[in-house]
Amino acid sequence: MADGSPLVSAAWLKDNLKAPDLRVVDASWFPSWTASAGAGRQSYDRGHIPGAVYFDIDEISDTESNLPHMMPDSVKFSSRVRKLGIGDGNRVVVYDANDFFASARVWWMFRVMGHKDVYVLNGGLRAWEAEGGELEDLPPVITGGRHFTPRVRSDLIKSREQVAAASASGDTPILDARPAGRFAGTEKEPRPDLPSGHIPGSGNVPSGKLVGADGKLVSKEQINALLGDHADRPVVASCGSGVSAAVIALALAEIGNWDVAVYDGSWSEWASHPESEIATASA
């Protein structure tokens, strides 16, 4: 575990997997336009890191919202993670089987709830297997029962109204993690009911540029080349539905900015709201 980093390596996790205070979380999730419903859970059931519990971002969410996987309130979050055997004093390592979809999101969720001792396995399941890590296909025996005390950090989550104000003032950078064509409005959104384009005044940092071919976060030097101007200032990250935005937050934490906020509703909310202005490359 590197000092000052939100990441751990597969080698570190292998060496520390049986530490009594460690909890491993599988956050595998696949967008609906790339896989069938439940694909993340199916990936977990096929094989996961021994002892890992499954965190479903579609279930541990505000299911009363008409927007996808919105952040739940602190009562629901604490209840669900307690059932997963996670509580105060636990070190949490999150991974997924899909190149930071959605391990970065779950890392950010724990931080919103005030849990600081949370990390992401760099390279995810692929890195674990490359390190010779074993997999199991049986559900773990959940032990512990510690209380999880939420200490909500409202500064790490932004509403549409707050983002609209930031867009109008230009005081806080808004960084969009979607692919360039969707940001520019030249390619269609995967959600067919939404137009493409972007929040006025926002910038585009596709999350794919922050993840290398090996599924690991790119080097600090590469992150600085893409995001160095934002290493020591407030930032709001956005994307399609608040998942890949967290990759920007994770990358900025890797170079020292731990206070990046995520626009939870992201483009799913912005583009469907009648009062939202939509910018495109042609405009």
**Nearest-5° angle of CA 5, CA 3, CA 173?**
35
Among 8, 211, 237, 239, which one carries the catalytic annotation? 239
Is there a contact between 57 and 102 (Cβ–Cβ < 8 Å)? yes
What is the C-alpha to C-alpha distance for residues 223 and 71, in angstroms, rounded to an integer? Answer: 27
What is the C-alpha to C-alpha distance for residues 41 and 56, in angstroms, rounded to an integer? Answer: 8
State whether the Cα torsion 269-271-275-277 is positive or negative. Answer: positive
What is the C-alpha to C-alpha distance for residues 252 and 255, in angstroms, rounded to an integer? Answer: 5
- Residue spans of alpha helices (H) in 10-115: 10-16, 39-46, 74-83, 103-112
239: annotated active-site residue: yes
Is there a contact between 48 and 26 (Cβ–Cβ < 8 Å)? yes
Which runs of E-coded beta strand occur in the chain? 7-8, 22-26, 53-54, 91-95, 118-121, 157-158, 174-176, 203-204, 236-238, 261-263
> What are the residue numbers of the active site?
239
